[in-house]
Structure 1
Amino acid sequence: MSNFGLFGFGPDGWGAVLLAGAAVSICAAVCGLILASLIGAAAARAKLLGGPIARTIAQAYTTVLRGVPDLLVIFLLYFGSSSVLSSVGGFFGYQGFLALPGFIAGVLAIGIVAGALMTEVFRGAFLAVKPGEIEAAKACGMSTFLRFRRIVAPLTLRHALPSIGNVWLGLLKGSSLLSATGVAELMRQTQIAAGSTRLPFDFYLAAALIYVALAVSSGLLIQAAERRYSRGIVRR
């Protein structure tokens, strides 16, 4: 079979396997982005509006997590959870091995790490909103929730979108680390295919092209979102 045929979707091709791995990578990155956004919003609020204790906790979280490698966090969560769960199981008489599934541990890890980045993204985006725009909403008699929904959130998101795009691309690349816990994402499937066919260059090049295609597609979506949230803004 030719090298080109190895990437087909026939019985001897690896195309479907690579695309399935890419789908797992995308799913992990999406779940990680959702978790990172929730954590980032909460930590950014703590930094901006919280008391001294909340600000200290948020600052410690962002400082520590931005300085620790993603892979190390994955291992800590994966093996740490196994120790905790096995101890809890032993307390109730269960003698087997317990651990979080590799996918869940990996998503939690990359989401928690990305949450530290999203904290600064949201904090900086909120500070970029002009105070006069918020004061005008107050002057119109908007409630706190309505003011947040119609003024604060859209303006903050407009300023945050470019950086959110960077965090998303980081999560997409970081999803490759889930292979360390046995998750069959794109890099794991590529490693299997390369080992089975003894054509590592061909399959790693194919994986690189898939990642580039995902990055380009993501960039186009982010640009479309930026245009939507920048309607009415004069570009200079």
Structure 2
Amino acid sequence: MVYFIGAGPGAVDLITVRGQELLKKADVVIYAGSLVNPELLKCTKPECKIYNSASMTLDEIIDVFVREYSPDKILVRLHTGDPSIYGAIKEQMKLLDKHKIPYNVVPGVSSFCGAAAVLNAEYTLPGVSQTVILSRMEGRTPVPPDEDIEKLASHKASMVLFLTTSMLEKLSEKLVKGGYKSDTPAAIVYKATWPEQKIVRTTIAELHKSAKENNITKTALILVGDFLSCEHELSKLYDASFTHEFRKAKEQ
């Protein structure tokens, strides 16, 4: 079996218990280079074969699985965060299907969750935003035209941008053209939950300047929206005057 495992956002203890247990038993691990904390690999068996996928092509990754596969082996593809977000796992699955090699997915804590945690933030605040947009700027690889940042910005929802740190001037321009105010709160979170984590609170207009001043050029998430700094309504969940299935409203 090949297991696609989410390694979590960076901190060693934020991998799931299931993922860690499979790593301990793994016969082969292909991990996503500098994006995965190398400390996680220390729990593998001494005889485990470990490959860094940073220099590998898709075919080379699949070749390892084909060569190493047998029904009694545990093969691990260790991805950063959660493999379902920018993990490029579907293309690997299709080739494994072609070779009739079974696989399973072990979810992980995405970096966008890690970033919210280190900021003590909540993406879905009542009366502010009930939608979270996860996206990226178009760079060397395109995005569908209907998912251009300017169009997504028209919703003014809580937004998290992956793979965009090197394009912050253009990002700010698109966000403002799309509908956000230039002084909308923003945050740059470099390597959330890693020991070298860095947090920069700023505004949409100051994103590029703030990143430059803090020497952040990659491996960071950009968070945008009023959820980062504003007043908000209280939720109905714990409102004493609100009745739901498990609690009757209390008289005020």
Return the TM-score normalized by structure 1.
Answer: 0.24
The structure whose residues are more often strand, as a share, is 2
Name which structure has the greater RCO, CA cutoff 8 Å, separation 6+. 1
Please identify the structure whose Cα radius of gyration is greater.
Answer: 1
Would you tell me which structure has more helix in proportion to its own residues? 1
Compute the TM-score of the two structures, normalised by the length of structure 2: 0.23
